[in-house]
Structure 1
Amino acid sequence: MQAGLTLRAFSAASAGTKASARYVSTFRHRVSKTLVPTSKQKFAHVAGQEMVPSQQLLLRSGMMRQSSSGIYSILPYGQRILNKIEAIIDDELENIGCQKLSLPNLLTSDNWKKTGRWETAGQEIFKLKDRRGSDFLLAPTHEEEVTSLIAKEVQSYRQLPIRVYQVGRKFRDEMRARSGLLRGKEFVMKDLYTFDVTEREAYNTYDEVVLAYRRIMKRLGVPYAVAEADTGNIGGSHSHEFHILSRVGEDSLLSCGSCGYTSNEERAIGVIPTTPSKIATKFRNSEEVPKWIESLDVVPRSAVRVNPKFQFGILKVPAADESQDESCTLVAVATSGDRDVNEIKVSKAFGNVDLADSVQDIQTLLGESKVTDLMLCVDQSLYPGQEPPRPKDVSLEGSSLPEGLSSLVGHSNWKKSLKVVYGDYHNCKPGDGCPHCQKNKGTMEPMEVSRAIEVGHTFMLGTKYSVPLNATFVAENGQEEEPMQMGCYGLGITRLMASIVEASHDHKGIVWPESVAPYRVVIVTSEDEGCVEAAENVYDVVQKALNAKADVILDDRTETTLGFKMKDAELIGYPWMVVVGKGFLRTGNIEVQHRKTGEKWSLEWPKLEGFFQERRLLDQE
C-alpha cells in the first residue's frame, strides 16, 4: 500500500516538471538502442605484449575495437568522447582567432622533396605510387601542404597573420605499434599552423597558443605538465611538450618543485652535484680502446677520481665534390660511470651522430667507409662545478693505436690527431639541480622525475618551411619580399582520450572527467514497472537541471539486472549514476552516486533537480 502511495505522489510531483522541462520530447538516449558492447573479459595481452590500462579499459567498455595492428575502429561512445575533446579545442582556438579547415590526407611528394623531408623522415612514412608512377604519401603531418596552400593565397603583409587548423587522421608506420591508441599507425590529431609577418609577432602568437593549450588541458580535468622539449624532425627554434602525468608514460620529465621548471629528460639541463656517486667512483673500463683514450690524459678529474665511461658513434659528412668520399669521424663520448649519453645533445652539437653499443659495432655503421677523424666529447659530469676547458687537438703521431681502432683507421687518409671538445652530452637524472634556481637564486634545488604521456607539441618554426616553399609576402615598404614566420602546434585527439584513461581509472573501470565523459549521467533502473516509469521522469528532470540536451542516458535494458547495469556504469565511467531501484519503491527516495569520489546521496524527489543544477559545468552556463 505504501509503495502505491509513493508512486502516485511521485507522478503528481513530476507532472509539472514534465510540462516545463526544456528538452522533453519523445526521444531519450537509451542504452538499449546504443552500440556499447561492454565485456567482462579481462584483456591482458595482444601479440605477446602486455596491454596498458587504457587499451584494456577502452576495449572492455566497448569504446573501440582493433582492426589490425596499430589500427582501431572507434565505437559510438568513444566517438562522443573525441567529439567533446574536439569541441573544447575548437572553443579555445576560436577565442584566439584560429580558423578551421580540412587538408587532404593523400599528399604528393613534391613539397616534401623541396623541404628535404621525403628523404630524411625515415621509414615511418607510408609511401605509395599512383597508376602513373607518381610518388605520394599518407600524411603524418601537414607542414608542407599548408605552407604551399598559404603561399599561393597570400601576397601582402596586410593579409597576415593567419592561424588555421584542422582535426583529421594522420598515418605513421610504427615499427612496433603498441599500447592501443597511445602508439598506433593511424590516429586523430589537431594540427594548427600560424603565419606572421615578423619573428616577434610569431613569438607572441606562440605564447598565445601555449596559453590556449593550458586552458584546454585544464578543461580536460586531468593532471598535466608543460615541458621544454627538443624540436626533433619537425625543426624550428622553440618547442614545448604537453604531457598528461601517468605511471605508464614513455617520457620522463624532470621538474623543480621550487620554481616550476620542467623539461623533457632528452632536453633537460641540470646542475650536477659536486660529490660523485658511488657508481661514478667505482666504475672501471674493461675494453682496450677506452683505456687507451683515458691514457691520453685529456679528461679532467674531479676532486674524487672519476673514471670515464665511453660510448662510440659515427658522424658522416657528405663531400662537397661528388668525386670525393664522404668524411667519417669516429666519435667517443666520455661521461661519468653513473651517466648515460644523450644522443640528441650530441647530434645537436655536431650533426647526426649514430651511436653504437661497442667499438665492435662501429664497423656496421661504417659499412664500406673508413674513419678519417677521431673526436672525443668530454661530458660535464667529469668536471662538475668547473668551467669547461677549451677545445684542443692532440697529436697522435707516433702513437700506436689499439687493435680495435687500427682496422677502422688504418689508411692514408687518417689525420692522426684527436679533437677534444667539452660540453653537456649526458642525460640528467633526479637529484640534479635546477638550472633556473642556480642561475637566479644561486641555490641547488634538486629536480624530481615523473612519468608522463606526451599529448601535444608546440614548435616555433621560423622560416624552415616558408623559404623552400616560397611562402613570401610583400613587405610594408612595397618592394621587398620576405618569408613568413611560422609556427605549428599539434594535439593528439585519440592519444588524449587514451591518456585520460591512463591518468583516471581504478579497479572498477574508467573515471571520466565530466567535461569529456560520453554521458555525464546514467540512470539505471530495476526491471520493476514502477521503477521503469519513474526513471523516464528522472531522465527529463536531470536533463533539464544540467541544461544539456545530450548528456543523460537511460539504461533501460530489460535482459540485465540492476546490479549488472551498475557494474557496467562503473566500467564505462559515467561521472554520475542515478539509481531507481527497489529502495525507491519503499521510500520514494532516489540514490545518486558520484563515480570519482564514491559519494552517495539519497534524495527526495523534489530535491533532485536542484542537486544537479548545482553541478552544471561552468562552460555550459
Structure 2
Amino acid sequence: MGRVLAWDSRQRCSSLGFKRHASTFRHRISRSLVPTSKQKFVHVAGQEMVPSQQLLLRAGMMRQSSSGIYSMLPFGLKSLVKIEAIIDEELEDIGCQKLAMPNMLPAENWKKTGRWETAGPEMFKLKDRKGAEFLLAPTHEEEITTLIGKEVQSYRQLPIRVYQVTRKFRDELRARSGLLRGKEFLMKDLYTFDVSEEEARKTYDEVVEAYRRIMTRLGVPYAVAEADTGNIGGSHSHEFHILSRVGEDSLLSCSSCGYTSNEERAVGVIPEEPSKVATKFRNSTDLGKWVESLDLIPRSAVRINPKVRYGLLHEAEQDGSAKTTLLAVATAADRQVNEIKMNKALGKLEVFDTLEEARGALGEEKVSRFALCVDQSLFPGLKTAPRSKSMTVDGALPADIAGISCVSGSPVLDVHYGDFHNCLPGDGCPHCATPLSTSRAIEVGHTFLLGTKYSAALDTTFMPATGTEPLPFQMGCYGLGITRLLASIIEASHDHRGIQWPESVAPYRVVIVTSEDEECIKIGDEVYDAVQASLKTKSDVIIDDRLDVTLGFKMKDAELIGYPWMVVVGKGYLRTGNVEVQHRLTGEKHHITFDGIAEFFAKRREVRPSL
C-alpha cells in the first residue's frame, strides 16, 4: 500500500510540474521520537520552571539527565543544528574558519594567566591517575592562544579568525531555568589574531556586524549593549541580548539615540530633582554623620543625605609589604553601589553593608589609609564634579572607626569623587539626555577586544613587518551560547498553546496533519510531496500520520511543538477539495485547493525573520 501511495503521489506531482527528490522517504511522526506531554511541568527541585524549560520538556525536545545537564532529543537537536548553520554561514562570510579543540584542558596555561586561581568554584577541576591537573573547559582563550602561537610566526600569516562549536562546563551552585543556566552547554567561541590594535578593532567591528545579522536571522527581538569585560578581560566589550521578562540582565536604553548598556556599566545624567527616598533618608551611624560633617559633599537645592557602605582595598607596595585602605562609599539613599565601577576606579575591593562586617574582615590587620568615595548622586545637576584630594584627618575620626588600628598616628583620608552607582530608569542618556528606560533581557552572546592580555601572558608572539623584536598578538574573543539561544528564542516567542518558532530555526517548517480517514491519509502524503517540492527542501516538512490519536489531538500537538505552518487534511477536504493552512504566529487560516499548494508555499520559500 505504501508503495502504491508513493507512486501515485509521484505521478500527481509530475503532472503538476514538480521535481521530486529521488528518495520517496517521508518524515513521519509515527516514526519519530517526539514524546510530547500534556502534563503541566511547573516545578523542579522546588524551583519554578521558566517557560522555555516547560515547553522543551512538554514538546518532547529535551529530557533532564541530572541537575543542570540535559539530553537533546531529535526535534530539539534539529533546531540547534539550524542555529549553528546560520552562525556558520555568517562567520564564513567574514573569513572565519571552524576547528575543534579538546574540552579537557591542562592546568599549566591557566596558571600562567592567573585564571586557575581566580576562576572560582564554578570551574570543574580534576586530576588524572598520574596526578596531573586538568579542567573541563568553560572557555578556551589559553588553549587557542597557545595553539596559534606554535603555528604562526610572521605577520604574513595574519589575520587569523578561527572558531568552534563545542560543549562547555560550569559548576553552577544552583543550576536553574533549564538551558538558560546549566552545568553543561553548547557554545560557539570565535578567536581572532591581528597584527595591530587598529586591525583588531576593524575585526571587532566586522564580527559585531556579523552577530547582528545572526540575531536578525534568528527572528526574535534583540538588543546590543555596552558591557563590562569581567573575568575574560580586555578593553572593549558588547553583550547581545534577547528581550524577555524572565531575563537575569537589566538593560537601560535610550529611545532617541539608541544608546543601550547593561545596568552594571550604564552611565547616566542624575536628575536635578532628587527622589523622596534620597531626601528623607537619615544616617544612624556615627560614620554617616561624620561624612556629612566634613562638608565634602556639595549642597543641592534640596538636601540629600548620604547612605554609606564600606570597603577594603588591599594593595601591594614596591617593597613587598601590603597596604590596606578602609573605604566609606557615600551615595544617595535611592542608589546602589556599583562594585564593578568601584573596582575599575580604585582596584579590586571587598564591599560590605556594615562597618562591623568590614571590621570582622580586617581582623588584626592595620589600616594604612582611609578613603571616602563621594558618588555623583549626592550632587544632582552639578555639571563638573569636584576634584579628588587627600587630607590628614589627625584625630578627627568618628568614634565607630577610631578604634580600628592604623599604621600611622595621623591617618590620611583620600576623597574620591565619581560615578560609583547603578543607574536607574529616568536618568538622562549620556549622549542626548533623553530619560533612559529599562527592560529585562537574556544574555546570549558576548564580544571582547582582548588586546594582548593572553598573548603576552603566554609569550605567544609573531615577527612584525618592521623591527627586529617579536610582538604579542592583538586578540579578540567572541562567544554565542547556542543552547542558551534555543531557550531564549522560546522565551521570546511562545503563547499559552506552546512554542511559536521563527521559521529559520523551527525543527520543521511545515506539518501535515490528517484525520484517520483512509482517503485523507492518502491525500496527506500527496500534500507532503507537493509542499516539499515547492519549498525545494528535503527535511523541513513532516506528516503526522498517527492512527491512534484524533485529528484534534494532532493539531494541539502541532501547536505545542510550534511548527510555523500546519496543513490540515480533514474530512472537510473530501467535501470541498480544500486543505486548511494555518500560520502559527498570526493565527491566519487559508483554504487552498490541492493545485494551489505549490504556489502558496513557493511564495514562502525564502525564510524571513518574523520580527
Residue 3 of structure 1 is matched in structure 2 by none
Residue 598 of structure 2 is matched in structure 1 by 609
* Compared CA separation, residues 12 and 503, structure 1 to 2 (3 A): closer
Q: Is the Cα contact below 8 Å between 1:18 and 1:537 reproduced in 2?
A: no
**Range with greater deviation from structure 2 (287-296 or 84-93):** 287-296
Alignment of 1:110-509 (within 5 A): 110-321=108-319, 324=321, 326-386=322-382, 387-403=384-400, 405-407=401-403, 409-413=404-408, 416-437=411-432, 444-477=433-466, 479-509=468-498
Q: CA deviation at 1:302?
A: 1.4
Q: CA deviation at 1:615?
A: 0.5
**Range with greater deviation from structure 2 (287-296 or 333-342):** 287-296
* Compared CA separation, residues 310 and 220, structure 1 to 2 (3 A): same
**Range with greater deviation from structure 2 (218-227 or 390-399):** 390-399
Q: CA deviation at 1:618?
A: 4.8
Q: CA deviation at 1:17?
A: 4.8
Pairing 1:586–2:554 present: no
Residue 30 of structure 1 is matched in structure 2 by 28
CA distance in 2, matches of 1:481, 1:85: 40
SS at match of 1:420: strand
CA distance in 1, matches of 2:51, 2:581: 27
What do the CA deviations read for 1:276-330 (whole angstroms, capped 9, x no partner)?
11111111112232222222222222121100111112112245555x4x32211
CA distance in 1, matches of 2:397, 2:588: 76
Q: CA deviation at 1:555?
A: 0.7
What do the CA deviations read for 1:250-272 (whole angstroms, capped 9, x no partner)?
11111111111111111011011
Q: CA deviation at 1:367?
A: 4.5
TM-score (norm 2): 0.96
Q: Is the Cα contact below 8 Å between 1:128 and 1:135 reproduced in 2?
A: yes
CA distance in 2, matches of 1:619, 1:161: 33
Residue 440 of structure 1 is matched in structure 2 by none
Alignment of 1:504-543 (within 5 A): 504-543=493-532
Aligned residue type for 1:615: R
CA distance in 2, matches of 1:13, 1:247: 51
Q: CA deviation at 1:594?
A: 0.2
Residue 4 of structure 1 is matched in structure 2 by none
Q: Is the Cα contact below 8 Å between 1:17 and 1:541 reproduced in 2?
A: no
CA distance in 2, matches of 1:367, 1:79: 54
What 5-or-longer segments of structure 2 have no aligned partner?
A: none
Residue 93 of structure 2 is matched in structure 1 by 95
SS at match of 1:502: helix
Q: CA deviation at 1:384?
A: 2.1
CA distance in 1, matches of 2:15, 2:366: 85
Q: Root-mean-square deviation (CA), in Å?
A: 1.8
CA distance in 1, matches of 2:9, 2:573: 13
CA distance in 2, matches of 1:192, 1:60: 33
SS at match of 2:302: coil
CA distance in 2, matches of 1:11, 1:412: 91
* Compared CA separation, residues 411 and 354, structure 1 to 2 (3 A): closer
* Compared CA separation, residues 11 and 123, structure 1 to 2 (3 A): closer
* Compared CA separation, residues 365 and 412, structure 1 to 2 (3 A): closer
SS at match of 1:21: coil
What do the CA deviations read for 1:117-136 (whole angstroms, capped 9, x no partner)?
11111111111111111111
Pairing 1:566–2:563 present: no
Aligned residue type for 1:366: L
What do the CA deviations read for 1:59-85 (whole angstroms, capped 9, x no partner)?
111111111111111111110000000
Q: CA deviation at 1:521?
A: 0.4
SS at match of 1:123: coil
CA distance in 1, matches of 2:108, 2:225: 34
Identity of aligned residues (%): 68
CA distance in 1, matches of 2:460, 2:405: 49
CA distance in 2, matches of 1:378, 1:157: 48
Aligned residue type for 2:385: P
Q: CA deviation at 1:385?
A: 2.7
* Compared CA separation, residues 557 and 17, structure 1 to 2 (3 A): farther
* Residue correspondences, number: 602
* Compared CA separation, residues 17 and 489, structure 1 to 2 (3 A): farther
CA distance in 2, matches of 1:68, 1:414: 58
Aligned residue type for 2:229: T
Q: Is the Cα contact below 8 Å between 1:373 and 1:415 reproduced in 2?
A: no
Runs of 4+ in 1 over 6 A off after TM superposition: 10-13
**Range with greater deviation from structure 2 (62-71 or 362-371):** 362-371
Q: CA deviation at 1:372?
A: 2.6
Q: CA deviation at 1:355?
A: 1.2
CA distance in 1, matches of 2:276, 2:524: 67
What do the CA deviations read for 1:163-222 (whole angstroms, capped 9, x no partner)?
000000001111121111111111000000000001111000000000000000000000
CA distance in 2, matches of 1:383, 1:15: 76
CA distance in 1, matches of 2:578, 2:18: 22
Q: CA deviation at 1:230?
A: 0.4
CA distance in 1, matches of 2:505, 2:360: 50
CA distance in 2, matches of 1:31, 1:490: 35
* Compared CA separation, residues 148 and 11, structure 1 to 2 (3 A): closer
Q: CA deviation at 1:522?
A: 0.6
* Compared CA separation, residues 126 and 367, structure 1 to 2 (3 A): farther
Q: Is the Cα contact below 8 Å between 1:523 and 1:553 reproduced in 2?
A: yes
Q: Is the Cα contact below 8 Å between 1:210 and 1:458 reproduced in 2?
A: yes
TM-score (norm 1): 0.94
Q: Is the Cα contact below 8 Å between 2:499 and 2:559 reproduced in 1?
A: yes
What do the CA deviations read for 1:219-274 (whole angstroms, capped 9, x no partner)?
00000000000000000000000000011111111111111111111101101111
CA distance in 2, matches of 1:24, 1:604: 26
Question: Among residues 69, 85, 88, which one is paired with 1:71 in the alignment?
Answer: 69
What 5-or-longer segments of structure 1 have no aligned partner?
A: 1-6, 438-443
Q: CA deviation at 1:18?
A: 7.9
CA distance in 1, matches of 2:227, 2:341: 12
CA distance in 1, matches of 2:521, 2:219: 33
Q: Is the Cα contact below 8 Å between 1:393 and 1:417 reproduced in 2?
A: yes
Q: Is the Cα contact below 8 Å between 1:24 and 1:540 reproduced in 2?
A: no
CA distance in 1, matches of 2:361, 2:85: 48
CA distance in 1, matches of 2:208, 2:272: 36
CA distance in 1, matches of 2:278, 2:234: 36
CA distance in 2, matches of 1:237, 1:352: 17
